[in-house]
Amino acid sequence: MIKYIRKNCTGCHICEVICSMEHFGKIDTKSALISYRDDWPQIGTVEFCRQCPKRSCMGACPEDALYLTSENLVALDKEKCIYCLACSDACPFGSLPTDGKNPLYCDTCSGLYQCVKWCPAKALKKVGEKNV
């Protein structure tokens, strides 16, 4: 699971850049699975699926579009998703980023946690479920 430490965040957007590079091979921050939302003049917030143990999103989905992968991560079946965002509303951490149609779920970069690795301010941290 990833924890966001807001006081450390500088709003640099590197998390979005790294995520888009990892998943799409190019800088496309609008498609990144993590999203920095500005709140100028204060530091904004980072929206992303934390892959939390509660998985409230799964129970909230009226179409059963969310499922667990073999790595025990929540993933989205885009064919079933009706973009109602009930999953985002049920998220105990706030909202999920979307690609304009579907909510986006973190896949932990296959366990590499690239956003955590590359965050220069250490605003993102990989934590165990007991540390959250």
- Kindly state whether residue 109 falls inside one of the protein's structural domains: yes
Residue 95, domain CATH: 3.30.70.20
Residue 86 belongs to a domain? yes
In sequence order, what are the beta bridge partners of 55? none
Does residue 45 sit within a domain?
A: yes
pLDDT by residue, tens only, the chain of 132 residues:
899 999 999 999 999 999 999 999 999 888 899 999 887 888 888 999 988 888 999 999 999 999 999 989 999 999 999 999 999 999 998 878 888 888 999 999 988 999 999 999 999 999 875 444
- The answer as to whether 130 is a domain residue is no
For residue 130, the model assigns a pLDDT of 44
- 31: in domain: yes
Range(s) of the domain holding residue 60: 2-125
Q: How many domains does the chain have?
A: 1
Contact 48, 97 (CB under 8 A): yes
Q: What is the mean pLDDT of the chain?
A: 90
Q: What is the pLDDT of residues 67-105, one digit of tens each?
A: 999 989 999 999 999 999 999 999 998 878 888 888 999
DSSP string, the chain: -EEE-GGG-----HHHHHHHHHHHSS--GGG-SEEEEEETTEEEEEEE----SS-HHHHH-TT--EEE-TTS-EEE-TTT-----HHHHH-TTS---BSSSSB----TTTTT-HHHHH-TT--EEE--GGG-
Tell whether 132 is covered by a domain. Answer: no
